Structure 1
Amino acid sequence: MKNVEKYARGYFMPPEASLNWTRKEYITEAPIWCSVDLRDGNQALIVPMNLEEKLEYFKLLVEIGFKEIEVGFPAASETEFAFLRTLIEQDLIPDDVTIQVLTQSREHIIRKTFESLKGAKKAVVHLYNSTSLAQREQVFRKSKEEIIDIALSGAKLLKQCAEETEGNFQFQYSPESFTGTEIDFALDICNRVLDVWKPTAENPVIINLPATVSMSLPHVYASQIEYMSNHLNFREHVILSLHPHNDRGTGVADAELGMLAGAQRVEGTLFGNGERTGNVDIVTLALNMFSHGVDPKLNFENIPAIASVYERLTKMKVSERHPFAGELVFTAFSGSHQDAIAKGMKYREEQNPPHWSVPYLLIDPKDIGRQYEGDIIRINSQSGKGGIGYVLQQKYGLDLPPKMREHFGYCVKNVSDQQQKELMPDEIYDIFVKEYVNIKTPVEFIKFRMLDDEEFQTVVTVRSGNEVKEITGNGNGRLDAISNALQGYLGIDYSDLVYTEHALETGSKSQAVSYIGIKAADGAMHWGCGIDVDILSSSVKALFSAVNQLSRNR
């Protein structure tokens, strides 16, 4: 590409090796989750939420299980201020939920923020100022010491206002644009703020290290987090927090490696909403942990319902390929994938293994409110016999013999290919019925009676066109006798009769389903299916359907 020389790596590596996180295999416990949907997420919407929408969204976050929720920047607008006052005055904040508010390190904003918090049972006051080299040089045009003075004046005023305001307040500091800040400077400014606040076991301080702009590979961010964790003052009384954005598409990886590196808390949003490419997606983070057998301490057992509320309130769309929540993420169209999934699901039914291990499915879709039917396997021209058979079995209770699945698979794929579309389960069922079930032309089965049960002699009444007649045959069983009668009447030969059957449903009104395959003289297999309340009648109807298939194709 042109202009590649314009770009250089704008991040800063720690001055010492910080790689202990590489020795950890996976995240063993959930972090403290803080939703910033109502601040970061809301400010990134084309049309920000109104008061009623914010209140509904807050309720959703509480129901999911968030214990810390950043509710806004109350000094920024009257809507933000009114939302916070409504939460407090209407007592809408559960006792076990802590609200968080954001403020710049500016006196009038800090004082307005504390005014908005009057009466709050517990709140985190989140102070930030930009510290990156680019911000210092281009935006503020200030030295490092001047930037530190901004942070310290804000930290001191927070402490003063907290003493003057009734309430229970916890402090948080973010060196905004941390990833573009020299690491030694980031450490210095955070420690200077900690020296002002002097955290204790009873009143810990949150130090939040945002990837305001994601600028490096995730392992670099992890090394930065580990270095900070190892060198922060009052470390045992500091809650180390992450706030990754997704500029490089690595927000989830940044957060996961950052947790391995010592972070205890994560700020993010549902489905990754936020400025530019968005904040880190807490849904994906939490369910990634869930897939490793670790309880994320958030309830995503009904992802479709959560996504529906999210889309309605934000006017944003959850992508079809969004991990876990997307419409298509558990869906296989490929024939080989469908076959493996269908066999994996059957294995679970037969063996009941203790852990989930179905091929191609990271977690059980039902654990997050998704359905097997219509979610896992969907049918188009790329699908195979396994998936098509699975849809019939799950939706309609039809368990086709393997060779019949293959035969029917080609029928379905041809229809999908010709129509250039996905086929719904009812369309697949209709194709099956049309092609195989109780076929009545050119010869319709009416009834039969046995003349001799020992010699298996039978009389079969059939209709061909407008003519009804009786045909006779014998064999080594009832079905064989009827088969021989048909072959003699139609003047056809076939061999290798394949037969299977099962009950379609349980109960006194259950129907029997029979499948029959016959091999014609040219070696081609022809299949039929019969459905009847009587098992022998279903077998005969299946035989007639297969023979009619052969006659049609002859």
Structure 2
Amino acid sequence: MNYQKYRPYKKIKKANRRWPDNEITKAPIWCSVDLRDGNQALETPMNLEQKINFFNYLVKLGFKEIEVGFPAASDTEYTFTRTLIDNKMIPKDVTIQVLTQLRSHILERTFASLEGVHKAIVHLYNSVSTIQRDVVFRKSKEEIKALAVDGARQAKKLAKKYGEERFIFEYSPESFPGAEVDYVVEVCNAVLDELKPTSENKVIINLPNTVELCTANVFADLVEYICDHLKYRENVIVSLHSHNDRGTGIAASELGLMAGADRIEGTLFGNGERTGNMDIVNFALNLLTQGVDPQLDFSNMDEMIKVYEESTKMSIHPRHPYAGKLVFTAFSGSHQDAINKGMTHMEKEKLNYWDVPYLPIDPKDVGRNYDAIIRINSQSGKGGVSYILKTHYDLQLPKAMQQDFGPIITQISDQGNKELTPTEIYQAFINEYVDIESPLQLINYVEQVDDDHQSAVRANFIFEGKKVAIAGHGNGVIDAFCKGLSDLVGQKIDIASYNEHALENGSTSKAITYIQIHTEQGTYSYGSGISPSVTRSSLQAIVSATNRVLKKAVVMQ
């Protein structure tokens, strides 16, 4: 790869930078540019009905500033702007924004499209980058600055014609990181001198990272430098409009906000030209995870994705931050184990804050449930399998049994080359451990307690196709049953561990018992039983565990 054909970005020399020590403690002013930047990047732009629906949805999400288009660019954009105004579709607390170049006829049509609006931002822009000045426009620095100032002057005159109290001005030195930073300040200040911002009528200076050219920290240096050298700073709203060419649009915007910016322009899920615009959903939810109110309602992620995909015909990547179908899902065994323990700890300790490994945000805060947090395939482990069984079926497998069952699930998934559903995992558990009736099937049993408080058990079985009976005495029903069963199978059976719990609440609930047996040959085996009777479930669990030992012995022979 010919890396020598590229030149590194020349960062500015900046002493005493302050932004690295700053924190974001409140949400910026948000402006959605989905209906302009987002729409112009679509293979098939939205029609009028789609635009209206999308606008209404942006209002529902809580956006107070929405760029609706470039009305002088096409009849479609003009009609959309007029439709919103004429049909009084813009809430009083929402300000629409329109984009315009600095040419007389374009400015005139832009203001005509806004006639009667209660409030609008008129977004003026021209490129100031060296490559655009020298190659595209073939104009000097003074000529480019004059273009910006003349455009601002014309816009101000037109505002008076249509009611200057209705308009807020925004100026963008397009592609500003590609220009000399002192020159960017010079142009912005010249525009501000023309517009004369006041505390009642502030001006927005928007810094568009039109093409990402530098790392996010260098971008923050540029923003801080410009903020420090702008005139009328107290009456200027500094805005950022980041693209994502380097994949750091969000980082640049976050650091730029720390560096002094007040406002952020972006799109839902980052739709935009080339690699896209800054993703407002991602940025806003980043704030949420730091305990900052994002001032936007993204609590129904699935609805937002549906509206977005239907409107844009774009799709959300399954690994898209916060929004993708798989972002809250763990397949890895170690991740699943950590999540399982974290969720259990949250519930047990009744924590009033979110702290779960591998999950920086509670899925419920974006309208997702916990069903898909852990999904099982051949990469999964005991913790994930245990979580699925507990969450979906209230099975609380002992730790040693989890270790026993995990490799079984891994093998099933590996052989089938597929992800296993909760139903398939549950059925595998039943098949492997519960009420195993071959070669030994428990028919019935009778228990008695003698005068010495010893238990006596008689039980009938079918063993290898024949009816047989056992009798045993012991310190309890289970001990007596194991002694009688040991005589039948020809090897001593002891209980290594015992756990049981109810599966449902109420007097009619069933009990499940998990029993691990130990034979004199040194074999350990788990079995489980389910019954309304705890005793029956326990004895059936012993039979199931014994059957697993007997089957393995046959296989080994």
Q: TM-score range by the shorter chain?
A: over 0.9
The 5 A counterparts of 1:85-104 are 85-104=82-101
- 1:293 corresponds to which residue? 291
1:319 corresponds in structure 2 to 317
SS in 2 for 1:153: helix
Residue 183 of structure 1, CA deviation: 0.5
Q: What secondary structure is seen at the aligned counterpart in 2 of 1:444?
A: strand
- In the alignment, which residue of structure 2 is the partner of 1:119? 116
Q: How much does 1:485 deviate? A: 2.1
Residue from 201, 220, 223 that aligns with 1:222: 220
Letter paired with 2:479: D
Q: Residues 363-382 of structure 1: matches in 2 within 5 Å?
A: 363-374=361-372, 376-382=373-379
Cα shift readout 1:358-393 (whole Å, capped 9, x = no counterpart): 11211212211122112x211111111111101110
Structure 2 residue 188 is the aligned partner of structure 1 residue 186: no
Aligned to 2:438: 441
User: Aligned-pair distance for 1:469?
Assistant: 4.0
Structure 1 CA distance, aligned partners of 2:335 and 2:48? 46
CA 1:418–1:521 in 2, change beyond 3 Å: closer, same or farther? farther
Q: Secondary structure at the match of 1:220?
A: helix
Which 10-residue stretch deviates more, 460-469 or 276-285? Answer: 460-469
Report SS of the residue matched to 1:408. Answer: helix
Equivalents in 1 of 2:10, 2:88: separation in Å?
44
1:416 and 2:413 correspond: yes
Distance 1:428 1:420 in 2: 15
1:45 and 2:30 equivalent? Answer: no
Q: Which residue does 1:174 correspond to in 2? A: 172
Q: Output the CA distance in 2 between the equivalents of 1:293 and 1:233.
A: 33
Mark the CA change 1:11 to 1:79 in structure 2 (over 3 Å): closer, same or farther.
farther
Find 1:393's aligned residue among 390, 394, 410.
390
* Partner residue, 2:272: 274
In the TM superposition, what whole-angstrom CA distance separates every residue of 1:397-424 from its partner, at most 9, and x where no partner exists? 1000000000000100111111122212
Q: Which residue of 1 aligns with 2:161?
A: 164
Q: Which amino acid aligns with 1:85?
A: R
- Residue of structure 1 equivalent to 2:540: 541
Distance 2:144 2:448 in 1: 105
In structure 2, the partner of 1:383 is 380
CA distance in 2, matches of 1:539, 1:496: 11
Match of 2:196 in 1: 198
Deviation digits for residues 450-496 of structure 1, max 9, x if unmatched? 14353211111223465444322221111222222222222233334
Deviation, 1:251, is 0.5
Which amino acid in 2 is paired with 1:346? T
Measured in 1, the distance between the counterparts of 2:174 and 2:90 equals 28
Q: Which residue in 1 is equivalent to 2:480?
A: 481
Give the drift of 1:442. Answer: 1.6
Counterpart for residue 339 of structure 2: 341
Judge which range, 356-365 or 446-455, deviates more: 446-455
Question: What is the alpha-carbon distance in structure 1 between the residues aligned to residue 356 and residue 79 of structure 2?
Answer: 50
Point out where structure 2 has 5 or more consecutive residues left out of the alignment.
Answer: none
Q: TM-score, normalised by structure 2?
A: 0.96
Match in the other structure for 1:207: 205
Secondary structure (helix, strand or coil) at the match of 1:93 reads coil
| RMSD between superposed Cα atoms in Å | 1.5
Question: How far apart, in 2, do the equivalents of 1:466 and 1:91 lie?
Answer: 83
Matched, 1:495 2:481: no
CA shift, 1:524, in A, is 3.3
526-535 vs 458-467, which moves further: 458-467
Counterpart CA distance in 1 for 2:143 and 2:357 is 57
Match status 1:65 vs 2:62: yes
- The aligned amino acid for 2:290 is H
Tell me the distance in 1 between the aligned counterparts of 2:59 and 2:378: 44
The question of whether the paired residues in 1 share the 8 Å contact of 2:495 and 2:515 is answered with: no
Residue identity in the other structure for 1:156: R
Moved more, 462-471 or 106-115: 462-471
**Equivalence for 2:73:** 76
Secondary structure class of the residue paired with 1:19: coil
Q: One-letter code of the match for 2:516?
A: G
| Structure 1 position 497, deviation (Å) | 2.9
> In structure 2, how many angstroms separate the alpha carbons of the residues matched to 1:428 and 1:223?
54
Give the superposition deviation at 1:356: 1.8
Q: Percent identity?
A: 53
Change (3 A) 1:523 1:465: closer
Distance apart, 1:11 and its partner CA: 5.1
Distance 1:327 1:164 in 2: 51
Q: Distance in 1 between matches of 2:311 and 2:463?
A: 63
Q: Which residue of 2 aligns with 1:504?
A: 503
1:136 equivalenced with 2:125 (yes/no): no
Q: 1-side partners of 2:290 and 2:192: how far apart?
A: 36
Indicate the SS of the match to 1:328: coil
Query: Are 1:516 and 1:539, in contact at CA under 8 Å, matched by a contact in 2?
Result: yes
Deviation, 1:95, is 1.3
The one-letter code sitting in structure 1 at the alignment partner of 2:254 is E
1:16 CA drift (Å): 4.2
Tell me what 1:258 maps to.
256
How many corresponding residue pairs? 550
Alignment partners' CA distance in 1, 2:216 and 2:500:
56
Give the aligned partner of residue 349 of structure 2.
Answer: 351
Amino acid at match of 2:535: L
- Where 2:241 maps in the other structure, the secondary structure is strand
8 Å contact from structure 1 (residues 18, 226) kept in 2: no
Q: Distance in 1 between matches of 2:10 and 2:76?
A: 37
Q: CA deviation at 1:525?
A: 2.1
Is 2:497–2:517's contact at 8 Å kept on the other side of the alignment? yes
Over 3 Å counting, the alpha-carbon distance change for 1:257 and 1:51 in structure 2 is: same
- 1:456 aligns to what? 455
Q: Which residue of 1 aligns with 2:282?
A: 284
Please state how far the C-alpha of 1:51 moved relative to its aligned partner: 1.3
In 2: Cα distance, 1:541 partner to 1:313 partner: 58
The residue number in structure 2 matching 1:526 is: 525
Residue 308 of structure 2 aligns with an amino acid whose one-letter code is Y
- SS for the counterpart of 1:209 is strand
* Stretch moving more, 239-248 or 281-290: 281-290
CA contact (8 A) 2:24 2:258 kept: yes
- Letter aligned with residue 201 of structure 2: N
8 Å contact from structure 1 (residues 174, 209) kept in 2:
yes
**Aligned residue in 1 for 2:152:** 155
SS in 2 for 1:515: strand
SS in 1 for 2:508: coil
Letter in 2 for 1:21: W
Deviates more, 1:454-463 or 1:382-391: 454-463
Q: Which has the higher mean CA deviation after the structures are superposed, 357-366 or 205-214?
A: 357-366
Structure 1 residue 10: deviation in Å?
4.4
Q: C-alpha distance in 2, partners of 1:471/1:531? A: 22
In 1, Cα distance between equivalents of 2:319 and 2:72: 37
1:235 matched to which residue of 2?
233
